[in-house]
Structure 1
Amino acid sequence: MKRPLGAQISHMLKDRGVDTIFGIPGVHNIEMYRGIEEAGITHILARHEQGAGFMADGYARATGKPGVAYVITGPGLTNIMTAMGQAYSDSVPMLVISSCLDETAATRGQLHQMKDQRGAAATVCDWSEEARTAEAAYQLIDRAFLEFQTRRKRPKHVQVPISLLSETAAPPEKPRDSWPNLGNHPHREAEVRELIKASRRPLVILGGGAVETDVFEEALDLIYPIQAAVFETYAGRGIVPTDYPFNFGATLGRPMSKEIVASADLVIAIGTSLDEGDLWRSHLGHKSTLVRIDIEPAVLADRHRADVQVLGDCRWFLSALTKSFADKEQSSDWSADEVAQFRSKARSETDAERPGIVPICDALRECLPEDTLMYSDMTQFAYVAKEVWDMAKPGLWHHPTGFGTLGYALPAAIGGAVALRKLGALEPRTIAIAGDYGFQYTLQELGTAVELGLPLPILIWDNAKLKEIEDSMVASQIAPNAVVARNPDFLALARAYGAHAVQPGTLAELQKATLAALRADRPTLIRMTPDLTA
């Protein structure tokens, strides 16, 4: 059936498994909205394109499917670019489809005109291309979906000229029953196997790549038999059970972890780029052989200089490697007491650096169901929680690592909550955690959350300042400047949007309020202040 191309694109996305699109309509992209309802896709109206991007990001992290956003020419695209940059940094599959002007070389002063819209988007995503025919649009969309399944997951951008969107077009080809599983042929597993057999203090570092490829069981099938010690990056939390005696947790960013890494006689890094946000130092600290398994060549050739480089999917390599250890167990020189003492000291350091937050984390973790989906912002509360809040399962806590943008938590949590609804979760549990300053970057998305009737607790850590920046200034012997801003009445603001709002006075009241918010008929803003543990 022939339709305008804008409508065909929505039908094509539906055929490829897309059930939700986030975005904002405008005069330049209204043709993209012609086919949304007809195709049976739900559209979530954001209050700002940045929010739409974060919602698509949160949806993708919750489902593993690409998050899709529709935006207009010019400012619509530039507004979503922050979210695209975050998705690129954190390896999140996102497809942004925008309109674009038909011609810009000889005409100036057009509505939403940019010098180079395609090129601007290319700076924050895997690739950015313009479709000048219907067939090109179809090919680019299919290329994006193929790469989401076979390469490192990163955002893509396709722009379509305004006039082309309204032109009648033949439908795209039907999707394939399944994309080819390109995988990889295991290699160097014999070499790594011998290194493991000769090791007495093997150390495994698990990153977000191990979560994305669902490699949990294969990782444990390696770790348990060889009695390896484990560090998880923030993105890799929850892969190894908390009761495993040699689990150092998400403490790799602690300076003293360098000594532990140096004491290992073999280090195996799986699905982690070991970026600045993972280590907070320039070098991992290893003195022994470093084995790295990753899907991206650039990671294997970075400053950490891996001795054994394995390019490919973690699952394929570990499946081949672990066969040798299936029914065997070798002892190691790691001590459960050594690990416990390290974690106790790390917890004390964290509590001393940012006082009062650890008890709140403990109280919340104690009361929340293990499968609660968490989205946090760049805030001191999250910095502490990422270290001391052990996760029972992987892929449940999402944080804007790397790009490190403020304003992520609320819209991303909305995307996650929408995803759980789509997945048919009987009790969808999603929580947003933000600081008082960062929350104000995207607070307007409260309107979307209320509109959707999401039972979403929004935990605001309100210390009435940019405390992390103030602490950094003091540590650098700079007089604190521009770190205090007048805050609104957050409770009144939430109620103005139609949300519930509460400020607990004790940890017990906080637990009660959070559980009630998970059962509410709309979002609930929960204001937390340092007085909770004063």
Structure 2
Amino acid sequence: MSDTSRTRPLGAQISHMLKSRGVDTIFGIPGVHNQEMYRGIEEAGIRHLLARHEQGAGFMADGYARASGKPGVAYVITGPGLCNAMTPMGQAYSDSVPLLVLSSCLDDTAATRGQLHQMLDQQAAGATVSDWSHTAGSAAAAYTLIDRALSEFQSKRARTKHIQVPIAQLEGEAEPAPETPPQTTRVRHVMPDGIAERIKAAKRPLFVLGGGAVRASQEARRALLTLKAASLPTDAGRGIISVSGDPLHYGGYLGRPETAAVAGSADLVVVVGSELSETDLWRAKLEHEADMIRVDIDPETLGQEPGSIAVQMDANDFFTELNTALEGHEANTSWTADEVAKARKRWRAEADSERPGIARVCDALREVMPEDTMYFSDMTQFAYAGKGFWDMERPGHWHHPYGFGTLGYALPAGIGGAAARPGLPTVVIAGDYGFQYTVQELGTAVELGQPLPILLWDNGKLKEIEDSMVAAQIAPNSVIAHNPDFCALAKAYGAAAAAPKSLKELQEAVTQAFKTDGPTLIYMTGDMSD
């Protein structure tokens, strides 16, 4: 139990405060500017995972947040520390992840130049990739901002928050933070009149389910089965509905061009918890012709579709109310399981021809994955294709850098996810190029000492970029790089490694990796035999 009864340097008090607010893990790298923040970590009983780069620390905190549902917290230093963390800060902002980044900052940047780690405007830099970025000029301000961040993570759309504290403040003696945080009550909106009736009256309703509906899976499944409605998930919404559980579920193919025709054939489209962003559709619009009902907690999202019917509600509240209205309802829709199954089969074949060899590897891997496995993937062709081939039985179990789309996400995020779920299976999926952005975090994975299969897909080039250049009639340029011996590299860090030559050997390597106390790099290529 953290002692909050005496004065300490503010840096130490911040760790004690976070512990009292339920934070048990922090990711970061200590430096001379933020070392006071480390004074209280062990004393408060918080676990700290040492990253090898601040980018890794930010991604670890992101993965921890996605896996646990709790805020991910990172400590970084002034200047380059924050700059290095800005990529994961932007990723968390884009994907609605509760990431709290606490950094040190210089006491003055106007009157003095040439200081260590000096930036012209660090707070403004943080604001470019955060919901907000503020300087805490006193202990009271630091406590208020931390509580504000934690409260907003619960009460509104979760996005990155950045708090910076001047070095002199971190070093100065401070009273403890208030023992009791402000009480956060989530605003509960009520479904407007007529919405349920519009949905019940539809003869060909189509639901598009995004990441904002992940926690509404049980109620969503019940509603869609009652309505006999078809559904498409965004990548972040995969698993809310499963192919095995609903024959009218199209699976993870929303980005396929033909889904425009599916949307165009609906007589009502209901979008729940999604921005319908470029990275959801890979086209400008859904291409629906019927009315659209948009359900979201974020009013900014609700205003993005002119003419749509906006419903500001939490997804679970929406589906709970809808199910109440559906009691006794007998649906008579024109969707058929046969048309949906044929479309899924056709899209799988198309995707397999576009990125050959990945489907059969996904099928082999799925056969040996333990129940409740959580996946963290990178920007790699294996993940792009795999998200369609790999039907998810449960939501919130495949995490990807969806919006910001940064390379190097998977390994550190997977480490954070594994730290959040000790004893439960976690898998990293990376490509040969993106893996090298954050390969140094293998050191942290070894120190964590938990099983962590790392599936490394090596096609020897930036294949997705090469294909894009060819499609644009550009002679492929700078898409091939010299790769290291990945297995030897993993072993140099103290990790296990395997290079299976067949799908059977791949399955055996994955099974063994889940029994190993530490990470295992599993090197995959498209020429593995059946």
TM-score of the two chains, using structure 1 as the length reference: 0.97
Quote the offset at 1:183 in angstroms: 2.1
User: Residues 297-312 of structure 1: matches in 2 within 5 Å?
Assistant: 297-302=299-304, 304-312=305-313
Distance 1:6 1:197 in 2: 56
Query: In the alignment, is the contact (CA less than 8 A) between 2:242 and 2:251 conserved in 1?
Result: no
Equivalent residue number for residue 504 of structure 1: 500
Equivalent residue number for residue 155 of structure 2: 150
Equivalent residue number for residue 448 of structure 1: 444
Distance 2:269 2:444 in 1: 46
User: Residues 397-412 of structure 1: matches in 2 within 5 Å?
Assistant: 397-412=398-413
The superposition leaves residues 8-56 of structure 1 with CA deviations (integer Å, 9 ceiling, x where unpaired) of: 0000000000000000000000000000000000000000000000000
| Structure 1 residues 326 and 533: CA distance shift in structure 2, 3 A | farther
Query: In the alignment, is the contact (CA less than 8 A) between 2:15 and 2:40 conserved in 1?
Result: yes
Query: In the alignment, is the contact (CA less than 8 A) between 1:360 and 1:533 conserved in 2?
Result: no
Match 2:527 to one of 519, 528, 531? 531
Match 2:135 to one of 130, 133, 137? 130
**Runs (4+) off by over 6 Å:** none
Distance 2:366 2:186 in 1: 40
Equivalent residue number for residue 295 of structure 1: 297
Equivalent residue number for residue 520 of structure 1: 516
Quote the offset at 1:313 in angstroms: 1.4
Quote the offset at 1:532 in angstroms: 1.2
Query: In the alignment, is the contact (CA less than 8 A) between 1:370 and 1:393 conserved in 2?
Result: no
The superposition leaves residues 191-250 of structure 1 with CA deviations (integer Å, 9 ceiling, x where unpaired) of: 212212221001111100001xx2112212321111100001110111113221100011
Query: In the alignment, is the contact (CA less than 8 A) between 1:84 and 1:155 conserved in 2?
Result: yes
Quote the offset at 1:533 in angstroms: 4.9
Quote the offset at 1:306 in angstroms: 4.7
Equivalent residue number for residue 85 of structure 1: 90
SS at match of 1:402: coil
Equivalent residue number for residue 191 of structure 1: 194
User: Residues 99-114 of structure 1: matches in 2 within 5 Å?
Assistant: 99-114=104-119
Query: In the alignment, is the contact (CA less than 8 A) between 1:36 and 1:42 conserved in 2?
Result: yes
The superposition leaves residues 387-435 of structure 1 with CA deviations (integer Å, 9 ceiling, x where unpaired) of: 11001111100000010000000000000111112xxxxx321111100
Distance 1:88 1:495 in 2: 34
Equivalent residue number for residue 12 of structure 2: 7
Residue type of the partner of 2:401?
A: P
Asked if residue 472 in structure 1 is aligned to residue 468 in structure 2, the reply is: yes
Match 1:206 to one of 205, 209, 213? 209
Equivalent residue number for residue 428 of structure 2: 432
Bigger shift: residues 89-98 or 308-317: 308-317
SS at match of 1:32: helix
Distance 2:26 2:314 in 1: 29
User: Residues 346-385 of structure 1: matches in 2 within 5 Å?
Assistant: 346-385=347-386
| Structure 1 residues 311 and 533: CA distance shift in structure 2, 3 A | farther
Quote the offset at 1:326 in angstroms: 2.5
The superposition leaves residues 149-206 of structure 1 with CA deviations (integer Å, 9 ceiling, x where unpaired) of: 0000101000000010011101111134x83323223031x32122122210011111
Residue type of the partner of 2:511?
A: L
Match 2:124 to one of 119, 127, 145? 119
Asked if residue 182 in structure 1 is aligned to residue 178 in structure 2, the reply is: no
Distance 1:533 1:281 in 2: 36
Quote the offset at 1:86 in angstroms: 0.4
Equivalent residue number for residue 3 of structure 2: none
Quote the offset at 1:320 in angstroms: 2.1
SS at match of 2:527: helix
Bigger shift: residues 308-317 or 484-493: 308-317
| Percent identity (aligned) | 61
Residue type of the partner of 1:274?
A: L
Equivalent residue number for residue 263 of structure 2: 261
SS at match of 2:528: helix
Distance 1:420 1:306 in 2: 43
Equivalent residue number for residue 315 of structure 2: 314
User: Residues 15-94 of structure 1: matches in 2 within 5 Å?
Assistant: 15-94=20-99
Quote the offset at 1:369 in angstroms: 1.4
The superposition leaves residues 57-83 of structure 1 with CA deviations (integer Å, 9 ceiling, x where unpaired) of: 000000000000000000000000000
TM-score of the two chains, using structure 2 as the length reference: 0.97
SS at match of 1:361: helix
Residue type of the partner of 1:161?
A: P
Distance 2:518 2:222 in 1: 43
Residue type of the partner of 2:104?
A: S
SS at match of 2:285: coil
Asked if residue 482 in structure 1 is aligned to residue 485 in structure 2, the reply is: no
Mark the runs of 5 or more structure 2 residues left unpaired by the alignment. Answer: 1-5
SS at match of 1:215: helix
Distance 1:487 1:478 in 2: 24
The superposition leaves residues 432-465 of structure 1 with CA deviations (integer Å, 9 ceiling, x where unpaired) of: 1100000000000001111121211111101110
Equivalent residue number for residue 230 of structure 1: 231
Distance 2:417 2:106 in 1: 33
Distance 1:266 1:13 in 2: 46
Residue type of the partner of 1:203?
A: L
Query: In the alignment, is the contact (CA less than 8 A) between 2:26 and 2:48 conserved in 1?
Result: yes
Query: In the alignment, is the contact (CA less than 8 A) between 1:406 and 1:441 conserved in 2?
Result: yes
Distance 2:324 2:409 in 1: 41
Query: In the alignment, is the contact (CA less than 8 A) between 2:189 and 2:312 conserved in 1?
Result: no
Query: In the alignment, is the contact (CA less than 8 A) between 1:238 and 1:394 conserved in 2?
Result: yes
Distance 2:427 2:186 in 1: 36
Equivalent residue number for residue 424 of structure 1: none
| Structure 1 residues 472 and 359: CA distance shift in structure 2, 3 A | same
Residue type of the partner of 2:15?
A: S
Equivalent residue number for residue 272 of structure 1: 274
Equivalent residue number for residue 332 of structure 1: 333
Distance 1:241 1:361 in 2: 17
